Amino acid sequence: MLRQVADGVLIHESEFCQSNAVVVQGRAGVLLIDPGVQDREMACLANDISHAGQTVVAGFSTHPHWDHLLWHARLAQVPRYGTARCAATVRDRLSDTGAKARIAEMLPPDIADQVPLDLLGLITALPAETARLPWDGPQVRIIEHQAHALGHAALLIEERGVLVAGDMLSDVLIPMLDLNSTADPIEDYLAALRLLEGVAGDVDVLVPGHGSVGGADQVHARIERDRAYVLALREGHVPSDPRVGPSAKPGWEWVSDVHNGQAQRLAQRRERHGTPG
Ligand SMILES: [Zn+2]
């Protein structure tokens, strides 16, 4: 079921990790950002879009992780954009014939047979540093950064005051750092938060890739909370964060394991390099 969060902007929430697909009304059809995860959910989304008398004219994937790279046969075959880095990363990871089988094995077992991988990762690269999404609809500003994954981008739908944050600024997921791809993942994350802070004044509605939609008051609050978390990681402190430990929302207890895992890997890096991060 589609739910309107701003004029001409609707979301479709998945049962898997409270993933949010975002539909933006354009002049000739809709833009679909991170369509979702399970077959029947994306089929439902395709139905909702066609019942509204609309067709999909463009797609966008916020980053090169499987749960943001899916597409459904019932959705129109249109350009599915991503940043140049996102597209290159996907191309690289899917380049060999065993790639999809490897991804299938990584999927959470309870939904693995419900995730259609046929159209996974068919991403059209935007030229590096493209500032706006090329489509016939409200202006969509691309805010690329290297925080959670290579080529991660948030989208600001300026005329609607909506920030689609990808896997940043979630009320349930902590900042999950990309510890494999960059030299200084902590600083990269802090830089990304500063970029988002720079547009925060223009945001009335915040849509995270996973978790609850927030209002204007949530934008700064979530930026501050994520920054506090990342700084605590850098210093090797235990973060006082409601998403970690006994205060985690029911069903999200595993986030504490993610936290412990990245805290441990950062501690190892500190030992090896003698520098934080
Ligand atoms: Zn995700």
Ligand 1 mean position, distance from CA 210 (Å): 6
Q: b/e per residue, 60-99, with b = 16+ CB within 10 A?
A: bbbbbbbbbbbbbeebbebebbbbbbbbbbbeebbeeeeb
Q: What is the pTM of this model?
A: 0.95
Ligand 1 mean position, distance from CA 121 (Å): 14
Ligand 1 mean position, distance from CA 116 (Å): 16
pLDDT at 181: 83
Cα dist from 199 to 163, 192, 193, 202, whole Å = 9, 11, 10, 6
Ligand 1 mean position, distance from CA 62 (Å): 9
In this structure, the number of other CB atoms found within 10 A of the CB of residue 118 comes to 10
Ligand 1 mean position, distance from CA 255 (Å): 13
Ligand 1 mean position, distance from CA 70 (Å): 11
Ligand 1 mean position, distance from CA 237 (Å): 25
Ligand 1 mean position, distance from CA 96 (Å): 23
Ligand 1 mean position, distance from CA 65 (Å): 7
Ligand 1 mean position, distance from CA 120 (Å): 14
Ligand 1 mean position, distance from CA 209 (Å): 6
- DSSP type of residue 36: -
Task: Give the chain's end-to-end CA distance (angstroms, integer).
Answer: 41
pLDDT at 98: 92
Ligand 1 mean position, distance from CA 19 (Å): 7
Ligand 1 mean position, distance from CA 119 (Å): 17
Q: b/e per residue, 41-56, with b = 16+ CB within 10 A?
A: bbbbbbeebeeeeeeb
pLDDT at 276: 55
What is the rounded radius of gyration, in angstroms, for the C-alpha atoms of the chain?
18
Ligand 1 mean position, distance from CA 20 (Å): 9
Ligand 1 mean position, distance from CA 167 (Å): 5
**Residue 164 forms beta bridges with which residues?**
155, 207
pLDDT at 275: 59
Ligand 1 mean position, distance from CA 242 (Å): 19
Sign of the Cα pseudo-torsion (113, 19, 64, 32, in order): positive
Ligand 1 mean position, distance from CA 126 (Å): 21
Ligand 1 mean position, distance from CA 277 (Å): 22
Q: Can you give the pLDDT of all 277 residues of the chain as single tens digits?
A: 899 999 999 999 988 889 999 999 999 999 999 999 999 999 999 999 999 999 999 999 999 999 999 999 999 999 999 999 999 999 999 999 899 999 999 998 999 999 999 999 999 999 999 999 999 999 999 999 999 999 999 999 999 999 999 999 999 999 999 998 888 999 999 999 999 999 999 999 999 999 999 999 999 999 999 999 999 999 988 889 999 999 999 889 999 999 999 999 999 888 887 655 5
Ligand 1 mean position, distance from CA 274 (Å): 31
Question: At residue 74, what is the residue type?
Answer: R
